[in-house]
Chain A
Amino acid sequence: KQEVTQIPAALSVPEGENLVLNCSFTDSAIYNLQWFRQDPGKGLTSLLLIQSSQREQTSGRLNASLDKSSGRSTLYIAASQPGDSATYLCASFQKLVFGTGTRLLVSP
């Protein structure tokens, strides 16, 4: 059974820092891996999707990488801003399994 783990569970950084969020999965037989953002009281918004054949995807200040052999994905956020404060979840797709999320707080 696929298990998806996210570390750390919570992260607090000052504005402007570059940061890395980690996602680990136990079964490397995935179709793709997706990163989401969840704001309080709102649903999830898809940020990046990495196909199983890809190594990384970029969107603006966000870069997500995928290493199937080691069962890991990372989300890199450059020059963090207070507006980045949210919970970030990764999800592996074959049978959809979500991680428990990393709650990020960026202080001005």
Chain B
Amino acid sequence: EAQVTQNPRYLITVTGKKLTVTCSQNMNHEYMSWYRQDPGLGLRQIYYSMNVEVTDKGDVPEGYKVSRKEKRNFPLILESPSPNQTSLYFCASKAQGGEKLFFGSGTQLSVL
């Protein structure tokens, strides 16, 4: 089954404790991206990647890092999480030249 898999689904952590949210897709998609969703603000893009070893900032990249060492994986790294990064995070992918975005089920992150 074609899918985008995020882990974990729920995460509660404390300020400053490094964490990684994983994202994996099995559709051989070149494009992958991360979004955060906050009430009243909609989905905002954090980072995106056009292909392996190619990443770029989205609209709200501060406090986040990403890497794209393999085509299928695009982890989101919070080196020193802060409470304002409490949010619902989504990973998505699409084929290069394709337009339909496929989303993961989301990761609800709470930073205390």
Contacts and interface: CB of A to CB of B under 8 A. Distances in A.
> Does B associate with A?
yes
Interface residues of A, number: 21
A28 interface: no
A31 B43 contact: no
A17 B106 CA distance: 31
A42 interface: yes
Interface in B1-27: 4
Contacts of A41: 105-106
B81 interface: no
Interface in A24-72: 31-32, 34, 36, 41-46, 49, 51
B110 interface: no
Contact of B90 (A44, A91, A99): A44
State the 8 A-B residue pairs at the shortest beta-carbon distance, nearest first: A43-B103, A100-B42, A98-B43, A44-B103, A43-B105, A98-B42, A46-B100, A43-B104
Given A42-B105, A43-B105, A96-B33, 4 more contacts: A43-B103, A44-B90, A49-B99, A89-B42
